[in-house]
Structure formats: C-alpha cells, structure tokens
Amino acid sequence: MFGSWGPIVFEMSSRRMYSFSGMQRTVGYRHPTMEIVGDKPASQFTGEELEEVTYEIQFAAELGLDPQKEVERLEELGRKGYSAPLVLGGRPVGRNEFVITKIPQEWKRFAHAGRLVELAGNVTFQEHKPRGKL
C-alpha cells in the first residue's frame, strides 16, 4: 500500500494494481480586487482557496481489477459526499479531508457480452472543510 482515501487503497502487487499516475495538486489564495477611480485596483488577501487534487486512473481486467465495479465504487462515494483524508506515502495531502467532485471516464475496451475490461480517466478531489472548522 502506498496511499489511500478512506476505503480506496492504492496498491501494487503481483496479482493486483490499483494505482494512479499524473497527480496534480492545486493550492490557491484569494486576492479580490476593488476598483479605484483614477488609480490601479486595490487587492486584499482574504484567505486560502480549497485545495484540489486530480489524478489519472486506469482500471483494467489484466491488472486484477473489475473496471466497472471500481468506477461504480468511486461514483457511489462521490454521490454520498463521502470525505476522508487523502494519504500518500504515509502522509496526509493537505490539512483537511477530501471529497470526490468529478470522474471523467473513457471506456476503452469491452469483452464479449459488452463487459467493460479497460477504463481510463481522472478523479478530482476537492478539500472538504466543514463549516465552523478553523
């Protein structure tokens, strides 16, 4: 195991590979501007943006996975608004938990009877900060 997000465990073994590649993390800060007549706008730091993490997925039968089952599991967690720490290499990513916000998918290969055998796509997480938490 090299990482996790709640019940989703990222692992590579001789019989199963549940992994990702191309992770992108976005950290941002809010600096709204106010128009000033006859001068440049003034800006003020008002805080941090919610972090966003996107990674590329590939689920394939030959990697020991059922692509349909795996993407449905992610979709169900997203629909429920499930939040959990995103952990990589034993360390949490960011300071708060994350929720799934998007799962664009490319259904790549099918077997007989229309069974999905390979899926590629992305999973986008957004930092989840419950109201009142500092």
Query: Which string of DSSP letters, residue by residue, matches 116-130?
Result: EEEEEEEEEEEEE--
Q: Which string of b and e fits 21-38 if b means at least 16 CB within 10 Å?
A: eeeeeeeeeeeeeeeeee
At 71-124, the pLDDT tens digits run 999 999 999 999 999 998 899 999 999 999 999 999 999 998 889 999 999 999
Q: What is the pTM of this model?
A: 0.84
**Burial class for 70, CB neighbours closer than 10 Å (0-12, 13-18, 19+):** middle
